[in-house]
């Protein structure tokens, strides 16, 4: 059998549960690796009621809306409906990855994996319920369509890491077929390969029979999902030099003491390739802290900008009447958006939000003058550490101020913008001298 073609590598999602995570908390993290010029926005959508059976327009197709959707915070490529990663008001977090295998990827437009992320968050109050939402939608509508804002086709199947305060689930798909693994403790990560082997806790009812019909499994040896549905040598997954293995090593290096800061360090790691550079790069990052005590708030950190090494992880907490996240929300183009027209992607509008634009200018400072760049980065890290400390105080002292929480993310964005403006002004003055 011929070897499979080399595939694009992008994205990593991680989770640490007690006892691997410090304290009685679940820590979730994801880097979204996408085309380098793509803008990722952070937005919050409130809970809502909908007419029964109302149509819901996703990126390419319509699905049937449910009567109630939960409040969500999303980090998403600005051109599409779904999201690369996000959380909901009940502490459910989801991230997805591109995966390829033996099953061919169809050309028809259906639900993107990113649409399934958002749908799962909007419709489920636990991780396992989100899994059920996703697989039911997958069965009814299928997955497919171009995953890049371009004439070039970039299509894939999807895997998902879904977490809540108590447990996590890995869901991996191949067309309409899928397998799921429950994670109740320790660490788990997913990257751009199927990784569920023989521990399968839920599966598509025809998963094994389909594999037999294709000649991928003889029906006698132990069923290994990753080995059967892809070209992965599952015996070497955690010892090879691939991204999945590197992420596995980093999680295990910190096992027993994983905090939000440790997860941020992992997402910033460039040597492993997890913080990706080049034509595909890390365009957005997320870290969530999910206390197992339901009386404590879940805290979600988002960058909203490329390269977590040069970005600030800004905290978000679900409370009523959150201030709209205007400065991390991209412009909208309504029916004139080239994504909504046929043929699609004839033009590419400017989707940069205010924070993204300032981040671009700040990157110039860092690359132009090392001294000023280091000073600027130090100020950004100081801001981030201050926010992490404030969030830890909320969890330790049970002292959430609702009036401050409504502005929490927006205020941190303003402070990050201030750091950038000051450094950019300083550089301009220095150049004039």
Going 330 to 48 to 84 to 175, the CA torsion angle's sign is: negative
CA gap 54, 121 in Å, rounded: 18
Higher pLDDT residue, 3 or 421? 421
Asked if pLDDT for residue 7 goes beyond 50, the answer is no
**Which among 62-71, 99-108, 365-374 has the top mean pLDDT?**
62-71
Query: Rounded mean pLDDT of 5-17?
Result: 74
Asked if pLDDT for residue 4 goes beyond 60, the answer is no
Asked if pLDDT for residue 429 goes beyond 80, the answer is no
Closest CA to 410 of 322, 280, 292, 297: 322
Question: What is the CB neighbour count within 10 angstroms for residue 2?
Answer: 4
Contact 49, 280 (CB under 8 A): no
Q: Give the 3-state secondary structure of residue 98.
A: strand
What is the pLDDT of the chain when averaged over all its residues?
94
| Residue with tokens 């509508």, as numbered in its chain | 141
Q: What is residue 108's predicted lDDT score, i.e. its pLDDT?
A: 93
Q: What is residue 427's predicted lDDT score, i.e. its pLDDT?
A: 62
Asked if pLDDT for residue 105 goes beyond 50, the answer is yes
Classify the phi-psi angles of 411: left when phi > 0, otherwise alpha if psi is within -120 to 50, otherwise beta. alpha
Higher pLDDT residue, 152 or 85? 85
CA gap 114, 116 in Å, rounded: 5
CA gap 219, 255 in Å, rounded: 37
Structure tokens given for 384: 């981030």
| % of the chain residues with pLDDT over 90 | 87
Asked if pLDDT for residue 387 goes beyond 60, the answer is yes
Q: What is residue 351's predicted lDDT score, i.e. its pLDDT?
A: 98
Asked if pLDDT for residue 6 goes beyond 70, the answer is no
pLDDT band at 424 (very low <50, low <70, confident <90, very high): confident
DSSP characters for 153-164? ----EEEEEEE-
Asked if pLDDT for residue 107 goes beyond 70, the answer is yes
Convert the pLDDT of each residue in 46-99 to its tens digit: 999 999 889 999 999 999 999 999 999 999 999 999 999 999 999 999 999 999
Alpha helices in 36-188 (DSSP H): 113-123, 127-141
Asked if pLDDT for residue 277 goes beyond 60, the answer is yes
3-state helix, strand, coil in the chain (%, to 5): 35, 25, 45
Convert the pLDDT of each residue in 12-49 to its tens digit: 999 999 999 999 999 999 999 999 999 999 999 999 99
Q: What is residue 432's predicted lDDT score, i.e. its pLDDT?
A: 54
pLDDT band at 1 (very low <50, low <70, confident <90, very high): very low
The residues assigned a catalytic role are: 11
CA gap 362, 376 in Å, rounded: 8
CA gap 85, 148 in Å, rounded: 16
Q: What is residue 136's predicted lDDT score, i.e. its pLDDT?
A: 98
What are the φ and ψ backbone dihedral angles of 21, each rounded to 5 degrees? Answer: -85, 145
Asked if pLDDT for residue 399 goes beyond 80, the answer is yes
Q: What is residue 325's predicted lDDT score, i.e. its pLDDT?
A: 98
Pairing relationship of beta strands 168-174 and 157-163 according to DSSP bridges: antiparallel
| Residue with tokens 């200018």, as numbered in its chain | 361
* CA distance to 13, 71, 164, 174, 335, per residue, from 55 (Å): 31, 19, 28, 27, 17
172, with CB counted inside 10 A (0-12, 13-18, 19+), is buried
CA gap 327, 330 in Å, rounded: 8
What are the φ and ψ backbone dihedral angles of 274, each rounded to 5 degrees? Answer: -70, -40
CA gap 323, 408 in Å, rounded: 9
Q: What is residue 3's predicted lDDT score, i.e. its pLDDT?
A: 39
Asked if pLDDT for residue 200 goes beyond 70, the answer is yes
* Those residues with Cβ within 8 angstroms of residue 33's Cβ, 6 or more apart along the chain or in another chain: 9, 10, 11, 12, 276, 280, 281, 282, 283
Global confidence as pTM: 0.96
* CA distance to 22, 68, 96, 308, per residue, from 367 (Å): 36, 47, 32, 16
Q: List own/partner pairs for 59-68 with CB under 8 A and 24 or more apart.
A: 59/111, 59/112, 59/114, 59/115, 59/145, 59/339, 60/109, 60/110, 60/111, 60/112, 60/145, 61/109, 61/110, 61/111, 61/141, 63/111, 63/119, 63/137, 63/140, 63/141, 66/122, 66/123
């Amino acid at each position: 059998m011929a070897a499979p073609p080399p595939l694009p590598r992008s994205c990593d999602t991680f989770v640490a549960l007690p006892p691997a995570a410090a304290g009685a908390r679940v820590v979730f993290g994801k880097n979204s690796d996408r085309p380098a010029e793509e803008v990722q926005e952070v937005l919050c959508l409130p809970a809502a009621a909908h007419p029964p059976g109302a149509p819901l327009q996703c990126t390419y197709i319509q699905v049937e809306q449910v009567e109630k959707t939960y409040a969500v915070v999303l980090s998403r490529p600005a051109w599409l409906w779904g999201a690369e990663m996000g959380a909901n008001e009940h502490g459910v977090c989801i991230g997805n990855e591109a995966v390829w295998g033996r099953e061919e990827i169809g050309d028809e437009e259906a639900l993107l994996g990113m649409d399934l992320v958002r749908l799962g968050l909007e419709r489920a109050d636990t991780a396992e319920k989100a899994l059920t939402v996703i697989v039911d939608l997958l069965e009814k509508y299928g997955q497919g369509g171009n995953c890049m804002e371009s004439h070039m086709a970039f299509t894939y199947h999807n895997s998902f890491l879904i977490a809540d305060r108590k447990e996590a689930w890995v869901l991996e798909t191949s067309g309409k077929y899928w397998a799921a693994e429950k994670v109740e403790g320790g660490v788990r990560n997913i990257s751009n390969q199927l990784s569920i082997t023989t521990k399968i806790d839920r599966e598509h009812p025809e998963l094994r029979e389909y594999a037999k019909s294709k000649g991928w499994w003889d029906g006698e040896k132990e069923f290994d999902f990753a080995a059967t549905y892809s070209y992965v040598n599952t015996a070497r997954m955690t010892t090879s030099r691939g991204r999945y293995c590197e992420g596995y090593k980093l999680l295990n290096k910190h096992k027993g003491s994983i905090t939000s800061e440790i997860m941020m360090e992992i997402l910033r790691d460039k040597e492993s390739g997890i913080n990706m550079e080049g034509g595909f790069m890390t365009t957005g990052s997320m870290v969530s802290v999910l206390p197992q005590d339901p009386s404590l708030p879940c805290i979600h950190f988002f960058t909203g900008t490329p390269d977590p090494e040069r970005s600030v992880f800004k905290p978000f907490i679900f409370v009523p009447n959150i201030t709209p996240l205007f400065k991390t929300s991209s412009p909208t183009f309504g029916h004139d958006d080239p994504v909504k027209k046929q043929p699609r992607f004839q033009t590419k509008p400017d989707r940069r939000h205010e924070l993204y634009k300032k981040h671009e200018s700040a990157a110039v400072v860092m690359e132009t003058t090392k001294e000023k760049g280091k000073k600027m980065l130090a100020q950004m890290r100081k801001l981030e550490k201050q926010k992490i400390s404030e969030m830890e105080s909320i969890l330790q002292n049970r002292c959430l101020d609702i009036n401050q929480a409504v502005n929490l993310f927006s205020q941190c964005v303003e402070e990050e913008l201030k750091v950038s403006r000051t450094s950019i002004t300083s550089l301009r003055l220095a150049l004039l001298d």
